[in-house]
Amino acid sequence: MKYPTLFIIVAITVLACQPKQEPTASNKISIGTIDSLYSEALHEQRHVWVYVPENIGNGAVYGKSTYPVLYLLDGDAHFLSVVGMIHQLSTINGNTISPEMIVVGIVNTDRTRDLTPTHVASVDGDTTFSKTSGGAEQFTKYIQDELIPYIDQHYPTTPHRTLVGHSLGGLFAVNTLLYHPDLFANYLAIDPSLWWDDQKLLKEAETILAEKRYDKKSLYVAIANTMKDGMQLSDLKGDTAKFTEHIRSILQFSETAESKTNNGLNFEWKYYAEDDHGSVPLIAEYDALRFLYSWYKLDDLSKYFDPASKATAAEVVTVITNHYKNVSDHLGYTVLPQESFVNGLGYAFMGDNKDIAFALFQLNIDNYPKSSNVYDSMGDYYAAQQDTVHAIENFAKALTLADAPHTKEKLKAMKGEK
């Protein structure tokens, strides 16, 4: 979002006033924790890497938050890049392209076993690689009955979940969408190995996508350039070569999914001509997040700071509340406008439009009545209007909810005390 200089200054000031994260004992930067649980479904100890957003207000000015969860297959390979990308798109420079999310990176033990839906005797004559294949249903059982409940119990989650998989992980993501669609809201299949088992899943998809409903489900498919140099997608028409089976399978699935326009699935696919199988995950995850959460970003509010717009308080509040109603509808649960965002916006309007500023501070009080900070901010509003009585009333209310030294000082000043 673009905001006037005053709002940017206020936002930076708010952030600067928050407590800084203490360095770890080893003076290393940490972005997550390693957790584990024993899986009865898989008969083994399973490790996950977990990232939880650092809500700037936890334990400080603003209340704790809960977050959607992104489950990342091959987690130990992609954890760092995905966490960084979500942090960038949800937080840095005021970005609200995607929501902040918890990331759960699922670490592999037997990758072929867990990510393949059927057993095959060999892959291109290699019997070692395929020896344990076909365990996807048990792995799904682990995720559904053990991992998700564990994460929900131990971390601040919401019910909105996304599954991301690359290669065999992409095959697993497609299999989950087809046979367990309600497990996740969003699916990202990056260059999925749909050639597996003589394209068995690909063939099943034709019927399943035609018969099932996928309302409020989204799928993004990324296709890497795995063809020989000089080949184009158009060259694949009628091609039967073994080395093109991988990309042909994904294209066929994408065309099938795109043709099923009546099943409710929100679907998009993209071909990455400049990326191969190994490089495509990063750019695909970036594009997928923008597609999957295209409805998340609030429209630019800078026009309301222009006096010529003659914006009313009711208009600004309606724009914000209607947007979050739409976000709530997509996520499947109520999402309120972020307290810190509305608070900063209220201060930004204080100098130019006191009616809008008041309405925004009141919106925060309505949404977060147990927050000390919302009353402290309303106290600041009344103090700026030289309304001592109401300023004292709000500062006093704030102190009944939290023992905030800065509020105490403001209350003393309003009362003329030293």
* pLDDT, tens digit, 9 for 90 and up, residues 50-61: 999 986 443 445
Flag whether pLDDT at 64 surpasses 80: no
Which range among 92-96, 107-111, 231-235 shows the weakest confidence by mean pLDDT? Answer: 92-96
φ/ψ of residue 134, rounded to 5: 100, 20
Predicted structure pTM score = 0.88
Flag whether pLDDT at 16 surpasses 60: no
Domains in the chain with CATH codes: 31-292 (3.40.50.1820), 302-415 (1.25.40.10)
SS3 content of the chain, % helix, strand, coil (to 5): 50, 15, 35
Quickly state the pLDDT bin for 409 (edges 50, 70, 90): very high
Supply the pLDDT for residue 24. 52
Supply the pLDDT for residue 74. 98
Supply the pLDDT for residue 66. 92
Q: Are 190 and 171 in contact (CB under 8 A)?
A: no
Flag whether pLDDT at 406 surpasses 60: yes
The span from the CA of 317 to the CA of 319, in Å, is 5
Mean predicted lDDT score pLDDT of the chain? 91
Supply the pLDDT for residue 61. 57
* pLDDT, tens digit, 9 for 90 and up, residues 110-148: 999 999 999 999 999 999 999 999 999 999 999 999 999
Supply the pLDDT for residue 174. 98
If you average pLDDT over residues 97-106, what whole number do you get?
96
Q: Is 408 helix (H, G, I), strand (E, B) or coil?
A: helix
Flag whether pLDDT at 209 surpasses 90: yes
Supply the pLDDT for residue 180. 98
Supply the pLDDT for residue 62. 63
Supply the pLDDT for residue 72. 98
Which is higher by pLDDT, 306 or 240?
240
Q: Are 163 and 187 in contact (CB under 8 A)?
A: yes
If you average pLDDT over residues 339-360, what whole number do you get?
92
Residues 96, 287, 76, 105, CA torsion sign: positive
Question: What are the distances in angstroms from CA 15 to CA 28, 213, 380?
Answer: 22, 44, 18
Flag whether pLDDT at 372 surpasses 90: yes
CB atoms within 10 A of CB 6: 15
If you average pLDDT over residues 53-74, what whole number do you get?
75
CB atoms within 10 A of CB 224: 25
Amino acid occupying residue 302: S
Flag whether pLDDT at 328 surpasses 80: yes
If you average pLDDT over residues 345-363, what whole number do you get?
94
Supply the pLDDT for residue 352. 82
Supply the pLDDT for residue 414. 92
Residue with tokens 């800084």: 20
Q: Are 36 and 47 in contact (CB under 8 A)?
A: yes
Locate 374 and state its tokens. Answer: 């919302």
Checking DSSP bridges between strand 33-39 and strand 218-224, what pairing results, if any?
Answer: unpaired
DSSP-assigned letters across all residues of 309-323: G---HHHHHHHHHHH
Flag whether pLDDT at 1 surpasses 50: no
* pLDDT, tens digit, 9 for 90 and up, residues 136-188: 999 999 999 999 999 999 999 999 999 999 999 999 999 999 999 999 999 99
Quickly state the pLDDT bin for 307 (edges 50, 70, 90): confident
Quickly state the pLDDT bin for 25 (edges 50, 70, 90): low
Question: Above pLDDT 70, what percent of the chain?
Answer: 92
